[in-house]
Amino acid sequence: MVLLQVEKLEVVYHQVLTAVQGVSLAVRQGQIVALLGTNGAGKTTTLRAVSGFIGLDDARVTAGRILYRGEDIHGLPPHAVARRGVVLVPERDKVFESLTVLENLEVARRCPHQEARRLYDLVFTFFPQLAAVRHRQAGYLSGGERQMLAIASALLCRPQLLLVDELSLGLAPRLVQALMAQLQAIRRELDLTVLLVEQNAAAALAVADYGYVMENGRVVLDGEPSRLRAHPDIREFYLGHGEQQTRRSYRDVKQYRRRRRWYG
């Protein structure tokens, strides 16, 4: 079943700049879907549109629909989106620094105590490090602990669809691997669906069931991870396995657009 369906989404910033130009995505129940692309490809904008934060930077959805379980959730206030089970783990400022770890979790809780206790236990079994620092202010946590806390507090919202923005940002590669594995385990345990927005294509494709690649506000490729990994452009521009050992960007290649179209 398709949980989240984005149809021909268009987002315009400041009434002039079209950041997302007709993006369509589908996230099926139980999958981990990766949305890949470099800076400025429109990934985060797409994610913001889904989580209801689009109005903040003078951005507007000018066309398209965002359907969650068949309901158009565009235009709902962010907290209403979160309460429907679409929960974001943001890229930056992902914890309340002046609150303790427990209070951070408490902010997100909106279920009765018994249910909450079960969730707390679950979170602390997944992230035992957090249990040790539960009374510490979140501002004093390390980057990895913050990311864990961010995921943990998102889980307290009892999400069905977890949107994760740049899980790997600023973290050591080993930690990224561990967190990705953790995410897979959580997904299985809670029957979650995950939309993973990443620049780190290798890490994301390792856990994903399906992937989309965005460039300049458009989806240019999509497919199973194995198929994406095998694609020469992905190998060269996103995974860094180019035949000539040069680190080029896709923007440097004239033929690129044409090749891509044949492929699609």
Partner 1 sequence: MAYASGYFKTSYGAELALVETRLQWAALAALGLGLGLFPLLASPFALDLANQVLLAVIGAVALMLLTGYAGQISLGHAGLLAAGAFTTGILAEEAGAPFWLTVPASGAVGAVLGLVFGLPSLRLKGLYLAVSTLALHFIVAFLGSEYETRHGFSTGILLDSPRLGPVVLDDARLWYGLLLAVAAAVFLFSRNLLRTRTGRAWIALRDRDVVAAALGIPVAAAKLSAFVVSSVLTALAGCLFAYYRGFVSIEAFSLFTTIEYVAMLIIGGLGSLLGAVLGAVFVVTFPYLIDLAVDLLPVPARLSTYVFAVKYAAFGLIMLLFLLLEPEGLLGIWRRVRDYFVLWPFRYRPLAGRS
Partner 2 sequence: MQLVVNTLVLAATYALIACGYVLVYRVSRVLNLAHGELMMLGGYLLLTTASLFAGRPLLAVAVALLLSLGLGLLVYVVLMRHFTGESVLAAVLVTIALGILLRGLAILLWTAQLQYPLVALGWQNPALSLGGGAVISAAGLLTLAAVAVVYGGLLLFLRYTPWGIRMRAAGENPLLAAQRGVALPQVLALAWGLATLSGGLAGMLLACDSGIDGTAVIVGLKAFPVALVGGLDSLSGALVGALLVAAAEVLAIAYLDPLVSDVVPFFVLLAMLLLRPWGLFGRREAFERV
Other C-beta atoms lying within 10 Å of the C-beta of residue 215? 21
In angstroms, give the least distance from the CB of 46 to partner 1. Answer: 15
Name the one residue in this structure whose structure tokens are 């004239």.
254
- Which among partner 2, partner 1, none contacts residue 83 (Cβ within 5 to 8 A by kind)? partner 2
Cα–Cα distance for residue pair 242/256, rounded to 1 Å: 14
Contact stretch for partner 1 (CB under 8 A) within 7-15, 41-49, 104-112, 217-225: 7-15
Shortest spacing between CB 75 and partner 1, in angstroms: 5
Tell me which stretch binds partner 1 (CB under 8 A): 53-61, 126-134, 146-154, 244-252: 53-61
CB of 1 or CB of 56, closer to partner 1? 56
CB 240 within 8 A of CB 247: yes
Neighbours of 36 (CB within 10 A): 26
218 binds, among partner 1, partner 2, none (CB under 5 to 8 A by kind): none
**In whole angstroms, how close is the CB of 50 to partner 2 at the nearest point?**
12
Which residues, 60 to 119, sit near partner 1 by CB under 8 A?
Answer: 60-63, 74-75
Nearest residue to 164 via CA among 92, 88, 96:
88
Angle between helices 143-156 and 173-190 (to 10 degrees): 10
14 or 79, CB closer to partner 1? 14
C-alpha Rg value of the chain to the nearest Å: 19
Instruction: Mark 55-69 as b/e (b = at least 16 C-beta within 10 Å).
Output: eeeebebeebebbbb
Q: Which of residues 199-258 bind partner 1 (CB under 8 A)?
A: none
The smaller minimum CB distance to partner 1, of residues 62 and 129, is found at: 62
- What's the rounded Cα separation, in Å, for the pair 43 and 204? 14
For residues 19 and 236, what is the distance between their CA atoms, to the nearest angstrom? 25
Nearer to partner 2, 104 or 200 (CB): 104
Q: What are phi and psi of 141, to 5 degrees?
A: -85, 160
Q: Which is nearer to partner 1, 14 or 188 (CB)?
A: 14
Q: How far is the CB of 244 from partner 1 (least distance, A)?
A: 38
Judged by beta carbon distances under 5 to 8 A according to partner kind, the member of partner 1, partner 2, none in contact with residue 29 is none
Residues forming the site for partner 1 (CB under 8 A): 10, 12, 15-16, 18, 55, 60-63, 74-75
